[in-house]
Structure 1
């Protein structure tokens, strides 16, 4: 439905210029610290994993180094699994769920798989609790050649440097109430469009690949997650966030067309998790646990396929 809400930056019907982007950037503020919340958890994994700095954000290279965590028993004959978090930096359980999986579970699968975990793709977004980067660009719509988002470009370059085929990619996200109160209205304003209100689904769901839906893979993951948290129901139109529900808790997107993170490789299996942290039914820890359950469910499915 239409909404009369007018975003405070920009002129309705007109795309933002650099002036509006600068005003938007000035409206952001640091709300938490990457150096306090995330980097110590990465450092604590150095004995158990190979921790690699694959870049740094130009906004402040000392403040925003980019790290990946790799299992030590890397072998070109093993399939490679990619786990990413914090592509949208504000999605907290994506970051901390990835780190929890690394700390508690990843090495349980290292005999069968090469596993690489990139826990916080967008640390500026993490600190300011933002979907975009400082240039009002969404990293999760920017996974293509000559990307305007350095977060995306750095990750793509790193994955290419691994010189291995990615068999599966699990990208950890959240859908929050702020998607409707802030981020989607800001997107409409930035692009000179009318904001059309939608509902935020109460519960966990997955986004699969329209071109490679991998139905049993997605079904297995949902089965693991619903032991931890509730799964989002379809709305009255049979949709979740405007897309048809293809099975319990699963919708599909054309990943490459939309330049999403899980579309950056030609992997056979991919899924994007969506945790709902604003539900009164869940705690912060349960959100992290749901992310871990999704990755574990994916790996158990793939282990059985070998």
Structure 2
């Protein structure tokens, strides 16, 4: 199939989706893995050393999903707050399991130094269906703004509202996958009645900085740590990664708040979106999780020593 000329099988070219198209799309989504056993099961184990809370719930048809957050048990008002989010796009597996792995394996290293708040799986319905959107065909990671159309995004914003201005670091853990090009970007174009413009998937890890308030030294510190775990995505022939100019090795920039991205939800001076590439022949799932953990640790270390 030639992606440059093919059109998504739902909808008509040039016409945004209506209720009928969204319903047809939803009917084609199927549950492929278990949020309860793969995510909530791990969260339950973490109750031994952390405070765990349900910060919201999603009711989709007959299914109910508890939205869970993990906090430092020794929370102190004099310590900086570190926010870690994963699974904003549910299909991006290492975002979820990297966040959980960090809590299990490395969070104790920062006890008494930071207050940790971790939302490991912001979009559990999409986690189970290995999808980018919620069941209303809405992308939570373009929905972090007032009157959000995504319940997932609204619930997370409500969770962090009391500490929004106290967060020093926000790490939002993501992946870029081959299905971005084969499924999700074509679906987005079809949903919005726009032409699909094929692109190239970068092979390797990269970061997304805020173009409005960039922190290049912070981003580079993370890149230097992660490249010991997995390879960093090179710029393409146009000097870009995924259609954006490369600001420095493995780093691109987006206007986070303008786009309604999760990394814009706090006033943190240090914030980034990680992008792991799990489909690379040079990376294993274990490496992808480890890269997320390494990125979080590098981010915390930098934020603690440069504030």
| TM-score in terms of structure 2 length | 0.97
- Residue of structure 2 equivalent to 1:219: 220
* Match runs of 1:118-137 below 5 Å: 118-137=119-138
* Match runs of 1:154-303 below 5 Å: 154-162=155-163, 165-303=166-304
Counterpart Cα distance in 2 of 1:124 and 1:2: 28
- Residue of structure 2 equivalent to 1:15: 16
Change in CA separation of 1:62 and 1:181 when aligned onto 2, cut-off 3 Å: closer
- Partners of 2:164 and 2:265 within 8 A in 1: no
Change in CA separation of 1:35 and 1:2 when aligned onto 2, cut-off 3 Å: closer
Deviates more, 1:259-268 or 1:168-177: 259-268
1:141 deviates by 0.1
Change in CA separation of 1:294 and 1:23 when aligned onto 2, cut-off 3 Å: same
Q: How big is the alpha-carbon RMSD for the aligned residues of Structure 1 and Structure 2? A: 1.4
- 3-state DSSP class of the match of 1:70? strand
Counterpart Cα distance in 1 of 2:128 and 2:153: 17
- Residue of structure 2 equivalent to 1:31: 32
Change in CA separation of 1:163 and 1:211 when aligned onto 2, cut-off 3 Å: closer
- Partners of 1:212 and 1:269 within 8 A in 2: no
1:112 deviates by 1.3
- 3-state DSSP class of the match of 1:145? coil
Change in CA separation of 1:66 and 1:215 when aligned onto 2, cut-off 3 Å: same
Which 4+ stretches in 1 moved above 6 angstroms?
none
Change in CA separation of 1:264 and 1:164 when aligned onto 2, cut-off 3 Å: closer
Unmatched 5+ residue regions in structure 1? Answer: none
Deviations 1:206-245 (A, max 9, x none): 0001112111110000011000000000000000011110
* Match runs of 1:42-81 below 5 Å: 42-59=43-60, 63-81=64-82
1:5 deviates by 1.3
Change in CA separation of 1:28 and 1:62 when aligned onto 2, cut-off 3 Å: closer
- Residue of structure 1 equivalent to 2:4: 3
| TM-score in terms of structure 1 length | 0.98
Counterpart Cα distance in 2 of 1:43 and 1:63: 17
Counterpart Cα distance in 2 of 1:110 and 1:213: 28
- Partners of 2:174 and 2:274 within 8 A in 1: yes
